[in-house]
Structure 1
């Protein structure tokens, strides 16, 4: 069977720069794609690369889309090379969605022939089938942000570290951990920005708060896998791999090398959804599914995987709606109006 293929490049602004150890991020670009079968049924997908996280670059994804014919086959979709994991996710998600009309609770009654599926995101937190972790801003701003998110229903928070001097961040950490309610879980995300000694210091401090401290995410560089494996055996605070397991090939490699702590999985850049399902079900890993600031289209496909494969005690990292401008429905409709 062949499918008509169309795509558009889109860009959205963060409300303010997202600060990580990799630098500041101001604009989120991705590719929205649509497949249409012979019966006129549609499947939507998104390609949201993050090259510094291990996926292809946006120009590489665009080049791939441009070189495809206007009609493609299932064989083309499932032969996308592993070097293009975000493309694998986008095309396979669109293929899986062909004709299902399965776009969640938010779009009932909003979809007409040729219309983009509108999902009315962000949905209230209680509408999701899984608990959601909210991302706090880096630095002192986290101290004035968590209360509003708590009132919205979030009970797990992630805070970016390794963006300032460790002494300053530890002071903020203690203020934050003391102010959070007892039932809260806190995740620290270093984005591979710590030294071994700094990671030890964070883990020592985390061990003082076992009820609230859920895990330290990617403390060291991807090249320091053995050091992180060693740290995971020395401290009570769990370590979660993130950049080290960004793609399916990295997931396989980390598991084969003995990693049995937490895996953070970003479905939108991990690669083929079908092969990701197979890996997670075969190995029953402790997985935390996480966003890459995709649109409603990519987010829905990623959350479907998370609902199917997540451990029931792990909040998924999709609490990011408060960080992007609330213009999604407007531009999603405008994107395809001239087709």
Structure 2
């Protein structure tokens, strides 16, 4: 079957700059896809790359879309090369969603879709939508986390993620202690370094976590991607779990780290990891402890990502999709 292809770039401004060890992020850019079959059924997809995580760039994704004919086939979609993982996800999502109308996204109208994927839309709430999944909320880096967790707690979140490795370690450890003291005992906390620590700093953070009376769920990607063996050693030396994130950004990286012996937590970002069908195959072959996480996508990509999370998660960990409070408006 052949499908009419249309696509449009979009941009959404963060309410406040997102600060990570990779730098400062001001605007989330992506590409929205629409496939229409001969019966008029519509499927929506989203290409939401993060190049510094290992996906293609937005420019590469746009170039790929522009080179495609206006009518495409399943064969074209399933032959998208591995170096375009966000494109793989976006096109397969659109194909899988043809005519389903899930979450009210089945309309073929661009303006209606724009309204439904706006951060202020009821289809993309700041609080967790009804779902068998539980949600983790992302806190802002630094001292702002000490204040924001309260409003997120009132919205129903019980798991939080806080960025570390963006400031002086001594100051961050002080803030960490204050955050731990202020959080309710039933809260869960994840720390995300985005590969921004050195080996000694990772030791320091893991020691601090191991010495707490409450459990830190895990420290995410303490070291850069090229220091896998050191992270493997750290995972075996401390009680606090370590989660790989940037190290498993794509399906190839996920398979490589598994083959090298990683059995701690894997953070899966569906929108940039690659083909949903190949991701399912990997999970059918390997039982892994996975946490599914957002890349600040709209409701279009989140729809497919959360379906995959509900289908593939084995350890009932909260999914990292509590991020909409970071957005102000669509540009």
Normalising by structure 2, what TM-score?
Answer: 0.94
For 1:50 and 1:210, locate their aligned partners in 2 and report how far apart those are by CA, in whole Å. Answer: 36
- The answer (yes or no) to whether the contact 1:137–1:160 under 8 Å persists in 2 is yes
By how many angstroms is 1:128 displaced? 2.6
- The answer (yes or no) to whether the contact 1:183–1:212 under 8 Å persists in 2 is no
Residue of structure 2 equivalent to 1:337: none
For 1:132 and 1:114, locate their aligned partners in 2 and report how far apart those are by CA, in whole Å. Answer: 30
For 1:112 and 1:56, locate their aligned partners in 2 and report how far apart those are by CA, in whole Å. Answer: 29
For 2:148 and 2:108, locate their aligned partners in 1 and report how far apart those are by CA, in whole Å. Answer: 41
Gaps of 5+ in 2: none
1:319 aligns with 2:327: no
In structure 1, which of residues 230, 235, 255 is the aligned counterpart of residue 238 of structure 2?
235
1:207 aligns with 2:213: no
Deviations 1:179-211 (A, max 9, x none): 111111100000000000000000001112363
For 2:32 and 2:315, locate their aligned partners in 1 and report how far apart those are by CA, in whole Å. Answer: 31
Gaps of 5+ in 1: 332-339
Residue of structure 2 equivalent to 1:16: 16
1:277 aligns with 2:274: no
Q: How is 1:75-94 mapped onto 2 (pairs within 5 angstroms)?
A: 75-94=75-94
By how many angstroms is 1:310 displaced? 1.4
By how many angstroms is 1:146 displaced? 0.4
Residue of structure 2 equivalent to 1:121: 123
In structure 2, which of residues 263, 266, 270 is the aligned counterpart of residue 263 of structure 1?
266
Residue of structure 1 equivalent to 2:29: 29
For 1:2 and 1:114, locate their aligned partners in 2 and report how far apart those are by CA, in whole Å. Answer: 20
By how many angstroms is 1:178 displaced? 1.1
| SS at 1:157 equivalent | strand
- The answer (yes or no) to whether the contact 1:182–1:212 under 8 Å persists in 2 is no
Change (3 A) 1:5 1:293: same
Residue of structure 2 equivalent to 1:191: 194
Deviations 1:84-140 (A, max 9, x none): 000000000000001222x22xx3xx8655465537333442513211000000001
Give the root-mean-square deviation of aligned CA atoms: 1.5
Residue of structure 1 equivalent to 2:297: 294
Residue of structure 2 equivalent to 1:144: 147
Residue of structure 1 equivalent to 2:164: 161
For 1:256 and 1:49, locate their aligned partners in 2 and report how far apart those are by CA, in whole Å. Answer: 26
- The answer (yes or no) to whether the contact 2:44–2:106 under 8 Å persists in 1 is no
Task: Work out which structure has the larger RCO, using CA pairs closer than 8 Å and 6 or more positions apart in sequence.
Answer: 2
| SS at 1:233 equivalent | helix
